[in-house]
Amino acid sequence: MKKLMIVACLASFAVPAVAQFPGIKLDTKAIEKAAKKDGDKAAKEAEKAAKDGARAALKADLIDTLALPRGDAKVPTTFLKLAAALSSAELDKALKGPGPFTLFAPSDAAFSTIAEVDLAALLADKAKLTSVLQSHVVAGALHAKDLKAGKLKSLGGADIAVTIADGKASFGGAHVVMTDIEATNGVVHVIDAVVMPKS
């Protein structure tokens, strides 16, 4: 499509010249060749940009990975609240370590389902906040294919139930809505709720 548009554009400038000077012959093959060359160049540049972006993502640890929006470009999935909570609980340093870890990451939308007063209380209680956040982390890099019905021992020691229904996994009652986001020290799965461990 881009090639055709370029050809049409070039032809629109060339045709009046041909009308004014009948002796001029329009070399459409040359125009098509030039258009194809420009199109190929643009395609190669786009491919290079995609590869560069992929390389940058692969160099990101779990914490840096949370800074990268995911999903729909118009309505991206973000993790600003989770990142801030991990920093407040001083767990961000641990998740920048060698790992590997599996992080079940509640999105900002997931945090928004918690009443503001309850969220404020949670963020103010560092011990409880740490316990809640540790419940979202499991040792080892577990990809979607590795998730089986049963229980996973979280970093905080709590046993978190994993269920599988219609091929889709849930973690602690939260639905896994995006899987296998790779990081240098583990893998991230996005969940739609904040998991609260039983006291």
How far apart are the C-alpha atoms of 175 and 168, rounded to whole Å?
A: 8
- Which one-letter DSSP state was computed for residue 77? B
Residue 199 lies in a domain: no
Domain enclosing residue 15, as ranges: 2-58
Rounded CA gap, 152 and 141, in Å? Answer: 12
Provide the domain count of the chain: 2
Q: How far apart are CA 157 and CA 56, in angstroms?
A: 33
Would you give per-residue pLDDT tens digits along the chain (199 residues)?
544 444 344 444 444 444 443 444 556 666 567 667 666 666 666 655 554 554 454 578 899 998 887 776 666 788 999 999 999 999 999 999 888 999 999 999 999 999 999 999 999 999 999 999 999 999 999 999 999 999 999 998 999 999 999 889 999 999 999 999 999 999 999 999 999 887 6
Q: What CATH number does the domain containing 145 carry?
A: 2.30.180.10
Same domain, 38 and 68: no
**Which residues in 3-27 are b (16+ Cβ under 10 Å) and which e?**
beebbeebeeeeeeeeeeeeeeeee
Is 119 in the same domain as 187? Answer: yes
Helix (H, G, I), strand (E, B) or coil at 131: helix
Q: How is residue 170 written in tokens? A: 């849930």
Query: Does a structural domain hold residue 198?
Result: no
